[in-house]
Amino acid sequence: MFCQKCFDEQRPHDGMLFAVLGTKNNKVWVHYYEAPYKRELIKPYGFIPAFIVVDKVVDGIVHLLVTCSANECGTDITYTKENGWKVDIVKTDEIKIPLKEYLVLEKFTDTGFKL
64-112 pLDDT, tens digit per residue, is: 999 999 999 999 999 999 999 999 999 999 999 999 999 988 888 766 6
* Region 29-56 average pLDDT: 81
pLDDT higher for 41 or 62? 62
Rounded to an integer, what distance in angstroms lies between the CA atom of residue 42 and that of residue 32? 15
Respond yes or no on whether the N-terminal peptide bond of residue 12 is cis (omega within 30° of 0).
yes
Domain ranges of the chain: 4-107
Mean pLDDT across the stretch 43-48?
82
d(CA 69, CA 75): 6
How far is CA 26 from each of CA 20, 51, 90, 102, 103, rounded to the nearest angstrom? 9, 11, 19, 21, 21
Cα torsion at 87, 95, 56, 109 (round to 10°)? -80
pLDDT score recorded for residue 13:
82
